[in-house]
Structure 1
Amino acid sequence: MTSRTTAGLARFNSADGDTAAHLLHEVCTSTVWVNAVLAKRPYADTEALLKASDAAMRELAAEDLGQAMAGHPPIGRPKPGDPASAREQSGMAGASEQLKAELLELNLAYQDRFGHVFLICATGLTGEQMRDAARARIGNTLEQEREIVRGELGKINRIRLTRLVAVAEGDPS
Structure 2
Amino acid sequence: MQLAVFNEAPRTEVAAALRPCIDVQRWVDQIADARPFTTTGDLLAFARDAAAPFTADEVAAALAHHPRIGDRPTAATTEASMSRSEQSGVDPADQDVAAALANGNRAYEAKFGRVFLIRAAGRTAPEILAALNERLGHTAEEEEAIVAQQLREIALLRLEGVISQ
Structure 1 and Structure 2 fold alike (TM over 0.5): yes
| Separation (CA, whole Å) in 2 of partners of 1:70 and 1:166 | 28
Check if 1:66 corresponds to 2:64.
no
Task: Show CA shifts across 1:21-71 (max 9, x none).
Answer: 111101101112211222211111111111111111113211111112222
State the AA in 2 paired with 1:110: Y
Deviation string, structure 1 residues 87-108 (Cα, Å, up to 9, x no partner): 1000112651011011011111
Work out the CA distance in 2 between the residues paired with 1:39 and 1:71.
Answer: 24
How far apart in 2 are the matches of 1:12 and 1:96? 40
2:66 maps to amino acid: H
Counterpart residue identity of residue 123, structure 2: L
Determine which structure has the larger helix proportion and give its number.
Answer: 1
Q: SS in structure 2 opposite 1:166?
A: coil
| Displacement after TM superposition at 1:166 (Å) | 2.4
Q: Percent identity?
A: 34
Task: Read off the aligned partner of 1:57 and give its amino acid letter.
Answer: A
Aligned length: 161
Residue 134 of structure 1 and its aligned partner are, at CA, apart by 0.4
After the TM superposition, list the runs of 4 or more consecutive aligned residues in structure 1 that deviate by more than 3 angstroms.
none
Q: What amino acid is the match of 2:136?
A: I
Structure 1 unaligned segments of length 5 or more: list them. Answer: 1-6, 168-173
User: Which residue does 1:112 correspond to in 2?
Assistant: 110
Q: Does 1:40 align with 2:38?
A: no
Partner residue, 1:160: 158
The match for 1:136 is 134
1:20 aligns with: 14
2:45 counterpart residue number: 51
Structure 2 counterpart SS, 1:59? coil
Q: CA RMSD in A?
A: 1.6
Is 1:29–1:70's contact at 8 Å kept on the other side of the alignment?
no
1:92 is paired with a residue whose SS is coil
Is the CA contact 1:95–1:127 (under 8 Å) kept in the aligned structure 2? no
CA contact (8 A) 2:118 2:147 kept: yes
Over residues 113-153 of structure 1, what are the superposed CA-to-partner deviations in whole Å (9 max), with x where a residue is unaligned? Answer: 11211111101111111111000001111111111111111
